[in-house]
């Protein structure tokens, strides 16, 4: 039996998060696998990690060999991972080793061997609007997301629960739980069955697993039951209501959450609901919600029909929210450019009342037709409404200059009206500060003091000691 080698696939984070925990996890895991397999790391390495490659243009022969010949593939899943071409190619080459593959009705791959996904972040990072694990691409939904099953051990079951909820990043070097989890993973890697290696494939010849059309590669499969524990959004076959479309589109339709996966809802102080006001095109999310008229569809299928500038803005808003560990909901009124302010104001006020930070994000192109459009007047009344009290953000898109002649009532809003920068980087930074500020405002939501609530103890300094 060949040594238990593993390929460590991850997305390089941006500058602010240099990934120290990731590197540390990799080293600890390699040591643990060596320990449980009785292998001396001084003689051979077991893990392959990409710590050098910037953009995949020089996909090292070492790495491509690693993917083609390692026994296990460890995919550290983060939202960034699914957007990286590198990672897509690595997964593609590895999945091909498990041929023949099948695709089930919901677009999940069946029969993938030796792939071990790691939940790096907490569960909120993987939600898509209201769908838990919605960000996990369809192809991966059937793959077990836990190191192993609990085997009836309550301690283990608890550990797995904590791991799925918190993500591994929070557990690295946190004590006993981390050691246990490492051991579980190491044993799983050691006990992985052998997988047929293939010849290394050059970077240019590999396709991006997240972008390629798997229908052409796999044979669609009929009824197949779910196997083991997999990602929450994997719909149970046969129990899924699907939007009826053409046959070719059926397989590509995003899965609707099954009855067992409870929808994610906005949580006071821990979520942001952003209402977009724009003329640009987007598609509606298929899940109805009670806190907004409609949610903007963010799945792959939905963004295909979205205006690219709007898509960039939404991506920035989401990134800012994720950086502050807030779940972001991208909502709009119906129609997106409301003709009457009442409903929208009610929605915003409702959310604010329960303490959910809300924002109104207005596409600055809306002001191009100010004179004639009644919608513009609606926006003004929403933004200046006292029932709501939140911030309005003006987003110049498509390289337009921000509007210079804002109507007087909007200008009088002062800090409640903010113009966002055009570039993505400064925009995310500005959004982050605004989100935190909004959250702080929401903490001031009037509450009745809880029964038996005490007062903050205050120290008395020297000044108060004087009579």
List Cα–Cα distances, 205 to 64, 89, 150, in angstroms.
11, 9, 40
The verdict on 52 binding another protein (CB under 8 A) reads no
Q: How far is the CB of 321 from another protein (least distance, A)?
A: 12
DSSP of 36-60: HHT--TTT---EEE--S-SSSTT--
Kindly tell me which residue out of 60, 183, 300, 324 binds another protein, with binding defined by CB under 8 A. 324
Q: Which of 157, 325, 339, 425 binds another protein (CB under 8 A)?
A: 325
Which one of residues 44, 61, 174, 215 is an interface residue with another protein (CB under 8 A)? 174
Residue 418 touching another protein (CB under 8 A): no
Q: With CA atoms as reference, report the closest residue to 66 among 3, 1, 8, 143.
A: 8
> What tokens appear for 141 in the block?
């939904």
Should residue 155 be labelled a site residue for another protein when binding is judged by CB under 8 A?
A: no
Binding segment (CB under 8 A) for another protein, from list 60-68, 243-251, 292-300, 429-437: 429-437
Binding flag, residue 445, another protein (CB under 8 A) = yes
Query: Per CB under 8 A, which region of 11-19, 183-191, 365-373, 419-427 contacts another protein?
Result: 11-19
Question: Cα-atom radius of gyration of the chain, to the nearest Å?
Answer: 25
Q: Please report whether residue 415 would count as binding another protein according to CB under 8 A.
A: no
Select from 321, 341, 355, 403 the one that contacts another protein (CB under 8 A): 355
The one segment of 68-76, 111-119, 305-313, 317-325 that binds another protein by CB under 8 A: 317-325
Structure tokens at 39: 């292998």
**Which range of residues in 103-111, 138-146, 218-226, 444-452 is near another protein by CB under 8 A?**
444-452
Q: Which long-range contacts (CB under 8 A, 24 or more apart) does 299-302 make?
A: 299/128, 299/134, 299/254, 300/137, 300/254, 301/252, 301/253, 301/254, 302/254
Q: What angle do CA 102, 105, 106 make, to 5 degrees?
A: 105
- Torsion sign across C-alpha atoms 322, 324, 325, 328: negative
**Residue from the set 2, 14, 20, 305 that interacts with another protein by CB under 8 A:** 20
Question: Cα 345 from chain centroid?
Answer: 28
Task: Report how far residue 366's alpha carbon sits from residue 204's, in angstroms, rounded to the nearest whole number.
Answer: 43
Pick the closest to residue 389 from 318, 450, 440 (CA basis).
Answer: 440
- CA dihedral (178, 184, 190, 196) positive or negative: negative
Beta bridge partners of 77: 119
Question: Could you say whether residue 452 binds another protein (CB under 8 A)?
Answer: yes
CB nearer to another protein: give 325 or 340. 325
CB of 467 to another protein, least distance (A): 13
Q: Which of 1, 204, 239, 460 binds another protein (CB under 8 A)?
A: 460
Interface residues toward another protein, by CB under 8 A: 16-21, 23-24, 27-28, 31, 41-42, 162, 166, 169-170, 172-175, 265, 267-270, 323-325, 354-355, 429, 432-433, 435-437, 439-441, 443-445, 447-450, 452-462, 464-465
């Amino acid at each position: 039996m060949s040594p238990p080698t593993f390929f460590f696939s991850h997305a390089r984070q941006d500058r602010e998060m240099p990934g120290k925990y990731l590197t540390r996890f990799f080293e600890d895991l390699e040591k643990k696998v060596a320990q449980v397999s009785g292998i001396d790391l001084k003689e051979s390495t077991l893990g392959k990690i990409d710590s050098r490659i910037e953009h995949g243009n020089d996909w090292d022969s070492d790495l491509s060999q690693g993917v083609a010949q390692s026994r296990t593939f460890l995919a550290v899943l983060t939202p960034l991972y699914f957007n990286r071409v590198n990672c897509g190619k690595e997964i593609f080459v590895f999945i091909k080793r498990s041929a023949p593959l099948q695709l089930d009705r919901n677009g999940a791959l069946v029969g993938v061997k030796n792939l071990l996904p790691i939940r790096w972040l907490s569960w909120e990072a993987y939600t898509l609007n209201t769908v838990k694990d919605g960000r996990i691409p369809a192809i991966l939904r059937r793959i077990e997301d836990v190191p192993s099953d609990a085997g009836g051990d309550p301690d283990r079951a608890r550990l797995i629960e904590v791991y799925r909820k918190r993500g591994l990043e929070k557990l690295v070097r946190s004590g006993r739980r981390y050691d246990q989890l490492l051991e579980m993973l190491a044993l799983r890697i050691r006990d992985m069955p052998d997988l047929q290696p293939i010849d290394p494939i050059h970077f240019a010849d590999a396709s991006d697993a997240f972008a390629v059309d798997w229908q052409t590669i796999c044979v669609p499969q009929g009824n197949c039951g779910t196997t083991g524990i997999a990602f929450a959004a994997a719909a149970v076959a046969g129990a899924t209501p699907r939007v009826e479309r053409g046959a070719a589109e059926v397989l590509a339709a995003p899965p609707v959450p099954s009855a067992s996966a409870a929808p994610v809802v906005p949580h006071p102080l821990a979520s942001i609901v952003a209402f977009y006001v724009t003329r640009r095109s987007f598609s509606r999310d298929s899940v109805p919600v009670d806190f907004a008229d409609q949610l903007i569809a963010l799945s792959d299928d939905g963004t295909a029909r979205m205006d690219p500038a709007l898509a960039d803005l939404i991506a920035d808003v989401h990134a800012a929210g994720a950086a502050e560990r807030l779940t972001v909901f991208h909502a709009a009124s119906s129609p997106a450019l409301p003709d009457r302010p009442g409903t929208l104001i009610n929605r915003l006020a409702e959310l604010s009342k329960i303490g959910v930070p809300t924002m109104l994000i207005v596409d600055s192109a809306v002001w191009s037709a100010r004179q004639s459009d009644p919608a513009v007047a609606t926006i003004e009344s929403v933004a200046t409404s006292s029932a709501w009290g939140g911030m309005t953000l003006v987003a110049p898109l498509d390289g337009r200059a921000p509007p210079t002649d804002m109507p007087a009532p909007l200008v009088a809003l002062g800090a409640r009206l903010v113009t966002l920068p055009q570039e993505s980087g400064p925009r995310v930074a500005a959004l982050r500060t605004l989100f935190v500020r909004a959250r702080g405002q929401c903490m001031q939501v009037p509450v009745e003091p809880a029964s038996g609530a005490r007062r903050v103890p205050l120290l008395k300094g020297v000044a108060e000691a004087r009579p």
